[in-house]
Structure 1
Amino acid sequence: MSGEVSMFEWIVANGWVFWLALFLILAIIEVMSLDLYFIMLATGALASVFTALAGGEFWLQTLVFSVVSLIMILFLRPIALRHLQRGPADQLTNVDRLIGLDALVLEPTTRLAGRAKIGGETWTARHDGEGTLEPGTYGRVNRIDGATAYITPREAMTD
């Protein structure tokens, strides 16, 4: 049975295939998540593809993957996020467009529970202060966290 090659031995001998497959998987996950972590890891995997094709040992390929990914996450991702979040209001996307909009309170809204209509859609809402926002009152969206809008009552708003 000396002619059989284990999967690990095959991966070590054909590291570029492993890293290329990992690159593709990470890129696909990034397209679905859009959080800029997986694309940083995919860049590390792509660097490892080139290291493997240049004849680098598997330990070196792994080291290149780790170092490039870490550098990308620590240094490039914050810069990329700042650039993505910059821009005029008419270029903001999805949830970012809701920040600053009026919110019609639909049910009593506290720091723990509530609902509000924002931009024609009903959202889970939380009071971004103390007390209770009563149904029929308006507030302004301060921030969105997941599927929850945090709103401030109009009398507490400053322009």
Structure 2
Amino acid sequence: MDNWGDHAWLIWIGVAVVFGLIEITSLDFFFLMLAGGALAASAADAVGAPLAVQVIAFAAASGVLLFVARPPLRAWTQKGDRTITGTAALVGHQARVVEPVTETSGLVKLSGEVWSARVEPGALTLEVDSPVHVIKIDGATAVVAPTTQLPEIPEGRQ
């Protein structure tokens, strides 16, 4: 047990490093708080505290960090602009009919690309060059509806 007592600070630092490495894979701030607790236990050993006090320091510091520091850290990392990407970003965009759009087929030019398109069941057929907007994306098909006015699309983006 003398070996433990002589090197307890180093063992606690090792535990903190292991928790830190585990945190890198989880990115949940749980193991980071435990690493902080291990550093507190290492500090307790540095001031000569017995093993029982070191374990209590580890538990207390970990608990405080988990309940005080972790929630705001998680909120900070999860806030921000939730940018919609992929096909979901196309919903609401304007398009122009390239080939008549029916309930089963058609083509539209959307964000510079030609997409297969269809209208909702019961909707009227949309004629070539009609302005439309995207209601939803269903697989690789844009579900569109007529638009009363299509904003001018700069040349080269059509």
TM range (shorter): 0.5 to 0.7
Runs (5+) with no aligned partner, structure 2: 91-136, 145-158
Q: Match for residue 65 of structure 1?
A: 58
Change (3 A) 1:47 1:103: same
CA contact (8 A) 1:44 1:67 kept: yes
| Aligned equivalent of 2:88 | 102
Gaps of 5+ in 1: 1-7, 90-95, 105-132, 140-153, 155-159
- Given residue 102 of structure 1, which amino acid in structure 2 is its aligned partner? A
2:65 and 2:40 map into 1 onto residues whose CA distance is: 12
Q: Post-superposition, which runs of at least 4 consecutive aligned residues in structure 1 deviate over 3 A?
A: 96-101, 133-139
1:77 positional shift:
0.5
Instruction: Give the distance between the partners of 1:134 and 1:78, measured in 2 at CA.
Output: 38
Equivalences, count: 99
TM-score, reference length from structure 1: 0.52
Separation of aligned partners in 2, 1:57 and 1:99:
55
What is the percent sequence identity of the aligned residues? 28
Larger radius of gyration: 2
RMSD in angstroms over aligned alpha carbons? 3.1
Q: What letter matches 1:32 in structure 2? A: T
Query: Would you say 1:55 and 2:55 are equivalent positions?
Result: no
Report the AA paired with residue 78 of structure 1: P
Kept in 2: contact 1:103–1:138 (CA 8 A): no
Separation of aligned partners in 2, 1:61 and 1:23: 13
